[in-house]
């Protein structure tokens, strides 16, 4: 083994270790891996950024834009409203929602498909008196299954297509994934329709938004007295006394109510302040500032809500600027919102609220201007957990994105245009007809996945240029010389399935794809069954909440625990393996041809 190969193995082991550690973002780890290979001379400087020009990376960015356009069109919310009479029965409710997200994920980003149905599913569950937990995890798993069905369904499919092009000179077409993908998705859909009962009973109860977040239980009215030290001072001065652990929700001044007041509003004698805080913090502020308690518990809801100001639940998504920062550090008042509560895995936390660091998947309760709230949530990288109103005034905004998406798929499926070019034209049409603003298009692109893919492609290419891929493939071929091809296929599938929960699925494909393809060439077998096994297994992350963004999105709103994913996911992973492996062997023969 050469020095270059040993050095690259060391880089890959460290990269994998950092992925497993999970303290650093995956895109940061990928850039560090690229930097290490450059410093070691394993990647030439002129090749360092070729990954960002890879058609697979460009296509992922374009599909994300198309997904955002369909998500904002409101077409899916309209469809759900037509189906409302069918949602009364629990199994049918799960079947319809999971079926929809599975179908959508075949043609748009799976996280986007989940995001558009998540608020509607929560609303539907609560309207029928059921816990959202019965729907949300099946919905997440359905979004992953749907991505298996087409070339554009999920980034791993596009990446494995690039691997095939490197090995054979021909990429996969739009529907090459469909026979196996649809079969696996249908079997998974049947399982998920009934398997929600595997979740613990306390996650299948009937929590409502009011029971999850009883804001009024944490709110008190206090009156400013003439001798208060805060007379003439600002709201910000009051909050500093409470070490930013207290929030002024509103100020009642004579017959006037000021909801979500600015931090610079001056306080006056006889003002009634509606305060939200832990009881210990509240007592300290009341005593120090000489406030007079007015009441607690039977709060008038108009003191925190009005036609223009209200309370919204939202889940923190990947890439949010809130992640790793505290409410104090974020200075949420500068965004025009008040933080009322944080929920992590279904449990509310108010202790040291200002210093608690946000995590991806946390559910936050925010108070602010309802008209501005969508903009504020986008800035904060949070997804609202309430059914969004559909804009009925612009039918073109509803129809055009769907039509353009279908047109791009048709151009790709018929071989008229490569997938990247077809979707580039689709995005251009959306821009020309002003279906989406350019700023919204840029925001729709998940920079973390683009950076991860673009940085890791040169690193995995170094595996081929140093001969490491060939050496690993030869070792696997020798070890499996006496094994039947079906057994080897199962081995590759299971190994990929086990790596995916600890490594991003795109990174898994970039690592396992060349190895599986190289092994097939060494063994004299067709590369297609083994590449398909890697693509499907890499997309089936059902075991943990953190292996895929879809799973993280439902963690907080569903009130799930870490082990709940294994309860529902382990049987599904076994079923997928038992169905996918023989289907791959049936559709993609082992004999090269």
Q: What is the pLDDT of residues 429-452, one digit of tens each?
A: 999 988 888 888 988 888 888 998
pLDDT at 519: 86
What integer is the mean pLDDT of 117-125?
Answer: 84
Q: What is the pLDDT of residues 329-371, one digit of tens each?
A: 787 877 888 887 777 765 655 445 666 788 888 888 888 888 8
Which of the listed ranges 159-163, 220-224, 331-335, 548-552 does the model predict with the highest average pLDDT? Answer: 159-163
Lowest mean pLDDT among 58-62, 144-148, 297-301, 342-346: 297-301
- Least confident span in 40-54, 235-249, 403-417: 235-249
What is the predicted pLDDT for the residue at 146?
95
Domain boundaries, the chain: 3-206+442-587, 211-303, 309-384
DSSP for 238-290?
HHHHTTT-EEEEEEEETTEEEES--TTPBP-TTPEEEEEE-HHHHHHHHHHHT
For residue 323, give the DSSP letter. B
* Separation CA 385–CA 387 (nearest Å): 7
Superfamily of domain 309-384, CATH level 4 = Regulator of K+ conductance, C-terminal domain (3.30.70.1450)
Higher pLDDT, 203 or 169: 169
Query: What pLDDT is recorded for position 370?
Result: 82
* pLDDT at residue 528, rounded to an integer: 96
pLDDT at position 436, please? Answer: 85
Say whether 309-384 and 211-303 share the same fold: yes
Q: What is the mean pLDDT of the chain?
A: 84
- CA–CA dist 258, 34 (Å, integer): 53
- Model confidence at 160, in pLDDT bands (50, 70, 90)? very high
Residues 314/383, Cβ–Cβ less than 8 Å: yes
pLDDT surpassing 80 at residue 538: yes
Residue 331: predicted pLDDT:
78
pLDDT at res. 506:
86
pLDDT confidence of residue 151: 94
pLDDT of residue 218: 56
Name residue 220's beta-bridge partners.
275, 296
Question: Sorting pLDDT into bands at 50, 70 and 90, what band is 504?
Answer: confident
172, 133 Cβ separation under 8 angstroms: no
pLDDT at 213: 52
Average pLDDT over residues 119-145: 88
CB 211 within 8 A of CB 128: no
| Residue 502, token pair as written in the block | 């600890």
Torsion 285-286-291-293 (CA) sign: positive
pLDDT score of 500 more than 60: yes
517, 164 Cβ separation under 8 angstroms:
yes
Q: Would you state the pLDDT for residue 391?
A: 44
Residue 550 has pLDDT above 80, yes or no: yes
User: How high is the pLDDT of residue 119?
Assistant: 82
Are 544 and 565 contacting, i.e. CB atoms less than 8 angstroms apart? yes
* pLDDT score, position 121: 86
Q: What is the DSSP string of 429-484?
A: HHHHTTSS-HHHHHHHS-HHHHHHHHHHHHHHHHHHHTTHHHHHHHHHHHHTTTS-
Whole-angstrom distance between the N-terminal and C-terminal Cα of the chain? 33
Which CATH code for domain 211-303? 3.30.70.1450
Taking 60 as the threshold, does the pLDDT of residue 69 lie above it? yes
The per-residue pLDDT for 350 is: 46
Instruction: Indicate if the pLDDT at residue 392 is higher than 80.
Output: no
């Amino acid at each position: 083994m050469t020095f270059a190969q040993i050095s690259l193995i060391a880089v890959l082991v460290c990269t994998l270790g950092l992925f497993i550690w999970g303290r650093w973002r995956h895109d940061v780890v990928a850039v560090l891996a690229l930097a290490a290979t450059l410093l070691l001379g394993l990647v030439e400087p002129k090749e360092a950024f070729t990954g960002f020009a890879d058609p697979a990376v460009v296509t992922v960015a374009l599909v994300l834009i198309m997904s955002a356009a369909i998500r904002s069109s409101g077409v899916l919310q309209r469809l759900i409203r037509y189906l409302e009479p069918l949602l009364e029965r629990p199994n049918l409710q799960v079947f319809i929602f999971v079926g929809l997200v599975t179908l959508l994920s075949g043609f748009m980003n799976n996280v986007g498909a989940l995001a558009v149905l998540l608020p509607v599913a929560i609303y539907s569950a609560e309207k029928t008196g059921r816990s959202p937990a019965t729907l949300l995890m099946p919905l997440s798993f359905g979004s992953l299954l749907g991505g298996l069905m087409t070339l554009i369904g999920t980034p791993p499919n596009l990446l494995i297509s690039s691997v095939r092009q490197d090995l054979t000179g021909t990429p996969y077409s739009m529907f090459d994934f469909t026979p196996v993908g649809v079969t696996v998705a249908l079997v998974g859909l049947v399982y998920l329709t009934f398997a929600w009962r595997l979740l613990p009973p306390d996650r299948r109860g009937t929590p409502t938004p009011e029971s999850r977040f009883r804001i009024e239980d944490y709110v008190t009215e206090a009156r400013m007295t003439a001798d208060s030290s805060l007379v003439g001072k600002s709201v910000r001065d009051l909050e500093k006394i409470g070490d930013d652990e207290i929030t002024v929700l509103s100020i009642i001044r004579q017959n006037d109510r000021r909801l979500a007041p600015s931090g610079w509003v001056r306080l006056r004698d006889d003002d009634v302040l509606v305060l939200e805080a832990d009881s210990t913090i509240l007592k300290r502020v009341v005593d120090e500032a000489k406030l007079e308690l007015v009441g607690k518990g039977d709060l008038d809801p108009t003191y925190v809500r009005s036609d223009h100001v209200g309370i919204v639940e939202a889940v923190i998504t990947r890439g949010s600027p809130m992640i790793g920062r505290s409410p104090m550090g974020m200075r949420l008042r500068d965004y025009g919102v008040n933080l009322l509560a944080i929920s992590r895995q279904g449990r509310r936390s108010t202790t040291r609220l200002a210093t608690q660091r946000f995590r991806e998947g946390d559910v936050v309760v925010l108070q602010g201007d309802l008209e501005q709230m969508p903009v504020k949530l986008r800035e904060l990288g949070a997804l609202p957990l309430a059914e969004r109103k559909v804009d009925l005034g612009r039918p073109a905004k509803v129809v055009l994105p769907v039509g353009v998406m279908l047109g791009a798929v048709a151009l790709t499926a018929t071989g008229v245009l490569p997938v990247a070019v077809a979707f580039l034209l689709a995005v251009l049409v959306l821009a020309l007809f002003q279906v989406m603003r350019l700023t919204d298009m840029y925001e729709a692109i998940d920079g973390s996945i683009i950076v991860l893919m673009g940085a890791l492609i040169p690193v995995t290419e170094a595996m081929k240029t140093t001969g490491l891929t060939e050496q690993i493939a030869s070792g696997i071929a020798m070890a499996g010389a006496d094994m039947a091809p079906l057994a080897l296929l199962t081995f590759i599938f299971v190994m990929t399935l086990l790596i995916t929960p600890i490594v991003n699925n795109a990174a898994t494909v970039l690592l396992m794809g060349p190895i599986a393809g190289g092994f097939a060439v060494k063994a004299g077998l067709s590369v297609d069954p083994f590449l398909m096994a890697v693509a499907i297994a890499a997309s089936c992350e059902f075991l943990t909440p953190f292996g895929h963004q879809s799973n993280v999105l439902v963690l907080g709103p569903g009130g799930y625990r870490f082990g709940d994913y294994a309860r529902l996911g382990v049987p599904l992973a076994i079923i997928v393996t038992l169905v996918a492996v023989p289907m791959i062997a049936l559709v993609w023969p082992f004999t090269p041809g």
